[in-house]
Structure 1
Amino acid sequence: MGIFRKLGWYFKQEWRRYLLGVTFLLLVALVNLIPPKVIGDLVDAMSKSRLTSSHLAWMLGLLLFSGVAQYLFRFGWRNAIWGGAAKLERTLRTRLFWHFMKMDATFYQKHRTGDLMAHATNDLNAVQNVAGAGILTLFDSMITGGTTIIAMVLVVDWRLTIVAILPMPLLAVMARKLGTRLHAAFSESQAAFSRLNDKTQESVSGIKVIKTFGQEAEDTADFNQIVDHTVQINRRVNMIDALFDPTTSLIMGLTYVITIIYGGWQVVHGQITIGQLVSFVTYVSALVWPMFAIGRLFNILERGNASYDRVDELLQEKSTILEAKDAITTPAHGDIRYQINKFSYPDDQQVALSRVHFTLPEGHTLGIVGKVGAGKSTIFKLLLREFDNYDGVIEFGGHNIKDYSLDALLDSIGYVPQDNFLFSTTVADNIRFSAFEKGQQDVEQAAKESAVHEDIKKFAAGYDTLVGEKGVSLSGGQKQRLSIARAVINAPELLILDDALSAVDAKTEEEILANMKQDRAHKTTIIAAHRLSSVMHADEILVLENGQVIERGTHEQLITKHGWYAEMWAKQEMEAAEEGESLGK
């Protein structure tokens, strides 16, 4: 019953709804006592040849009243109890989804997408069942069982009732033993479902890569292995679950045997009538549901308890990114001072950034280059406050970025990551994702600035074209340029391009940079790139290696230093010349 204590906050909040539902359950149970009594009276009247038409009509009227009343009262408890369960599910889904929105990058490194989806679907369904079917089976079994036993005592015979219910304490022993085993088994089952969900999500997302490398058979075999393991675990759950009903049936069978033997003896000795015995047997039949409900109840409660613990464990996790109590709510703007002495990712001993210091005046452009893994994206993650556990300080407009509210800081930054993510909606809605109040003219202007307007015009439905999941219908260059348009539509104070021009050709790259130089004349821009032509016009360029700045200066200054930048520039110029010659042929 621990799950009821854990959900106590909700039941206290919705006590009126559940009180109404339980009241209707009580009324159903009371009305349900009428038919056995009527049947018993009819049997006695017929056995004594005293049944008259008026008496029969009266009895049939009572049965009709019982049926109509049960229909109305059942509608009442269903509306109250199932409505409460649906509201709990909505409350928990909203709370969990908002929790996902607030959590930091560390949280998403720790938990895989499929696992989070399993918590938000399968686990929440199990918890909802506690507030619906769980409440129903608990109170219905108690009320129906209690009223039926009372009726058996008052209408028939107290001695027969006591003897008949002697096997029932065995149910409590059975439910406790099987319930404990079911809780552990279902926890394991939910974890297995999460792993299966992870695998499914990963395989579907990476289906193109799987097919490209011809790994369909291998990936299917891996998937089948996980499915087999999940099925094996669920078989264990079902085996324990399946023991409830046979055990309950056995106990009910003993009750029937006792009733027939001892009740028959009482009829023979004139202690009860044959009609009373028929009523008693009918009442025993009414006890079948409460007895089965006990097994079902423990099943529901143990499943819900295991799932609630899994969900609550997620909700108890706290983001490491905290806003200041008196956070600055005005949008950030001004110079950027970046002074990072040391930074390592959580649970990683390797230093990701070391002594990265620079000042970027408002309206200037900074270029950042280096090998893959040099630390370019890490610089941006700290600027975007994905991690705060660094030694140093980052200032924006003279204020520590930790002093801004997250909305004030992030609304001032337009970020285009290396991995472009587009939503399964129209081209226009993807561009104005962060500013749905923007009109078509603003959308087209942003598209022109990112040199994707002409491509969009060629689409079948223009700006109303659906891009498909993750932009599956677009080329890599088109996805990059749409992501740039989405970032520039709000004219952010700081625009960060994290290798965002890698999929476009040199001519398109030049057009985009020229547009930005004109449209963002007084705005700050940071460009990280592997192609040095993307940063050659920057006011300052940083060259990173192993998280440290090894060179810095303008394009011309770095060329004269004959270091890594100069070597890479010469190599890329040679490659561009060779490519031009091959195209000329």
Structure 2
Amino acid sequence: MKVYKDLWWFFKKEKTGYLFGILMLVLVALMELIPPQVIGRVIDSISADTLTPRNLTVFLAVLVVAAILTYIFRYFWRVLIFGASNRLGKIMRERLFRKYAKMSPSFYQEMRTGDLMAHATNDIRAVQMTAGAGILAIADSLITGGAVLITMAVTISPKLTLIAMIPLPLMAVLTSYYGKLLNRGFKKAQAAFSALNDKTQESIAGIKVTKTFGYEKSDQDDFKTLSDDVVQKNLKVSKIDALFDPTIMLVIGASYFLSVFFGARMVYADEITIGQLVTFTTYLGMMVWPLLALGWFFNLVQRGSASYERINKIMNTKNDIKQDNYIQALPKGEIEFNIDRFNFPKDESDGIRDVNFKISEGATVGIVGRTGSGKSALIRLLLREFDTEHADDILYGGIPIRDYNIKTLRDRFGYVPQEHFLFSTTIRKNIAFSNPELDDSVIFEASTLSDIHKDILNFHDGYDTVVGERGVSLSGGQKQRISIARALIMEPEVLILDDSLSAVDAETEEKILNNMQKARKGRTNIITAHRMSAVKNADLIIVMDNGTVIERGTHDELMQVKGWYYDTYNAQALRDSLTHELDDMVEGDDRDE
């Protein structure tokens, strides 16, 4: 019952709907008491030979009126109670989605996508059922069951009613025990479903890789194992669930036996009439639903309770990025890094150490280094995907970035990540993601700057081409350039390209960088790269290794130092030269043929 206490905030909000819905259930219960009384009186009238056509017509009219009113009342309780539970589902989905949107990357590193999806679907549906069908079950069980028992005792025989109720305590004990088993089993079943959901999402997203490595059979076997686990755990839940109805029917059967046995003796003793006994057994038949509803209620409550606990665990998870920042003004000025030490959550090794440099407003800064040197870590810290230990580790305009409102801060950045993400919609909508109302001329200009405009025009549907999930129909270079266009269209104060030119050739890279240099004059650009050619024209180049800065300066200055940058630049230049010569040789052979 704890789940109803937890949902009390919603019941208070929807109290009018629930109260009127329960009132409709009371009226339905009262209407359902009428037919057995009519049947008993008709039987007694037949036994006494006093039934007339007029009396029969009155009885039939009463039954018709009761049926019509029952129909009307049932319609309204469904609208009121189930309507309220649907609104609960809507509220919880919106709250959960807002929670997802606010959480930091560390949250998504720990949580599986399939699990989060299961919370937003199956778990919310179970809670919604508890607030809808659960309320119906307990209210209808108590109202109808109570009304029937009172009517049996008052209008027929309190003694026979007590006799019929003897088996009921056994049912209460058993259904309570089943409920506890059901709660534990349902938690395990939901966890198994989450794992299957996560596997399905992962397999579909990585289908190209799976096919490339010929891993389909193993992937299918893994899926089958998880699917079998879901089936087994749900079968255990179903077996427990299946105990409710037989137990209740056994109790009802025992009540029937006691009622008929002792009721017949009371008829012989002239304590009740035969018509009253028929009415009593009819009422006893009406007790089947309230008792089944009681079992159903325990079932729903245990499922809803398990699901609400899972949802609450997510809702109570604290965001490790503080968002109650007080500075609403737009950041402006130079960006300064003064990081002594930073390591990612649950990672004991230093991710960043002794990083100190400034990015002047309007400057272009390149950050280079081998894989894992800390380039992207700096970008993620600047975007406040993670926070450093000290507030003044990163300053923007002389103010710690964590003092700015986080939305205001991020609005200053146009970010193109390493793992470019495109939505399952048209190219036009992907580029204009930040402002869908933009004119085509603005979209075309951004596409031209990122050197993707001509490619798009060659597609069958041009800018209306649907790219598929995550841009599955495009090449890596095309996805990168569309992502760059999406960032450029925002005209951000600071543009960040986090190794975002890795999938394009050197010629295209140079063209994009030249376009950006002209279009973004006076604005800040940060480029992380593995290819030195991407940053050679930068105002400042930062060379990182093992999470720290090992070299800094302009291209010419670093070439004079003859350190890591010098060696890497020359090695890449030699490789590019050999590649060009090889391409020229191949083209020459093709012409000779």
Q: TM-score, normalising length from structure 2?
A: 0.97
Tell me the amino acid that sits aligned with residue 139 of structure 1: A
Aligned partners of 1:183 and 1:303 also within 8 Å: yes
Aligned to 2:373: 374
Aligned to 1:12: 12
Aligned partners of 1:447 and 1:485 also within 8 Å: yes
Aligned pairs for 1:27-426 within 5 A: 27-325=27-325, 327-391=326-390, 393-426=393-426
Identical amino acids, percent of aligned pairs: 48
What is the alpha-carbon distance in structure 1 between the residues aligned to residue 469 and residue 122 of structure 2? 23
What is the alpha-carbon distance in structure 1 between the residues aligned to residue 340 and residue 438 of structure 2? 41
Task: Give the SS at the match of 1:425.
Answer: coil
What is the alpha-carbon distance in structure 2 between the residues aligned to residue 496 and residue 4 of structure 1? 49
Tell me the amino acid that sits aligned with residue 463 of structure 1: Y
Query: Structure 1 residue runs of 4+, over 4 Å off?
Result: none
Tell me the amino acid that sits aligned with residue 28 of structure 1: V
Tell me the amino acid that sits aligned with residue 33 of structure 1: L
CA RMSD of aligned residues (A): 1.1
Gap regions ≥5 residues in structure 1: none
Aligned to 2:555: 555
Query: Following TM superposition, by how much is the alpha carbon of 1:112 offset from its aligned partner in structure 2, in angstroms?
Result: 1.0
What is the alpha-carbon distance in structure 1 between the residues aligned to residue 465 and residue 219 of structure 2? 33
Q: Deviations over 1:46-94 (max 9, x none)?
A: 2222221111111111111111011000011001000110010001001
Aligned partners of 2:497 and 2:526 also within 8 Å: yes
Tell me the amino acid that sits aligned with residue 553 of structure 2: G
What is the alpha-carbon distance in structure 2 between the residues aligned to residue 491 and residue 42 of structure 1? 85
What is the alpha-carbon distance in structure 1 between the residues aligned to residue 336 and residue 91 of structure 2? 43
Tell me the amino acid that sits aligned with residue 524 of structure 2: T
Query: Following TM superposition, by how much is the alpha carbon of 1:154 offset from its aligned partner in structure 2, in angstroms?
Result: 2.1
Query: Following TM superposition, by how much is the alpha carbon of 1:324 offset from its aligned partner in structure 2, in angstroms?
Result: 4.5
Aligned pairs for 1:458-537 within 5 A: 458-537=458-537
What is the alpha-carbon distance in structure 1 between the residues aligned to residue 214 and residue 174 of structure 2? 53
| Bigger Cα displacement from structure 2, 96-105 vs 560-569 | 560-569
Q: Deviations over 1:2-57 (max 9, x none)?
A: 11111111111111110000000000000000000011111111222222111111
Aligned partners of 1:353 and 1:375 also within 8 Å: yes
Q: Deviations over 1:131-161 (max 9, x none)?
A: 1000000100000000001111122111111
Q: Deviations over 1:268-287 (max 9, x none)?
A: 22211111111111100100
Tell me the amino acid that sits aligned with residue 560 of structure 1: Q
Gap regions ≥5 residues in structure 2: 586-593
Query: Following TM superposition, by how much is the alpha carbon of 1:389 offset from its aligned partner in structure 2, in angstroms?
Result: 3.0
Query: Following TM superposition, by how much is the alpha carbon of 1:333 offset from its aligned partner in structure 2, in angstroms?
Result: 2.2
Tell me the amino acid that sits aligned with residue 353 of structure 1: I
What is the alpha-carbon distance in structure 2 between the residues aligned to residue 372 and residue 45 of structure 1? 95
Query: Following TM superposition, by how much is the alpha carbon of 1:573 offset from its aligned partner in structure 2, in angstroms?
Result: 1.1
Tell me the amino acid that sits aligned with residue 116 of structure 1: L
Task: Give the SS at the match of 2:132.
Answer: helix
What is the alpha-carbon distance in structure 2 between the residues aligned to residue 460 and residue 536 of structure 1? 37
What is the alpha-carbon distance in structure 2 between the residues aligned to residue 389 and residue 281 of structure 1? 74
Aligned partners of 2:381 and 2:388 also within 8 Å: no
Query: Following TM superposition, by how much is the alpha carbon of 1:254 offset from its aligned partner in structure 2, in angstroms?
Result: 0.1
| Bigger Cα displacement from structure 2, 209-218 vs 429-438 | 429-438
Tell me the amino acid that sits aligned with residue 283 of structure 2: Y
Q: Deviations over 1:313-333 (max 9, x none)?
A: 1001111111355x2222222
What is the alpha-carbon distance in structure 2 between the residues aligned to residue 388 and residue 11 of structure 1? 39
What is the alpha-carbon distance in structure 2 between the residues aligned to residue 330 and residue 224 of structure 1? 54
Query: Following TM superposition, by how much is the alpha carbon of 1:508 offset from its aligned partner in structure 2, in angstroms?
Result: 1.0
Q: Deviations over 1:249-274 (max 9, x none)?
A: 11000011011111111112221111
Q: Deviations over 1:356-393 (max 9, x none)?
A: 11111111111111111111100000000011133452
Aligned to 2:541: 541
What is the alpha-carbon distance in structure 2 between the residues aligned to residue 437 and residue 557 of structure 1? 46
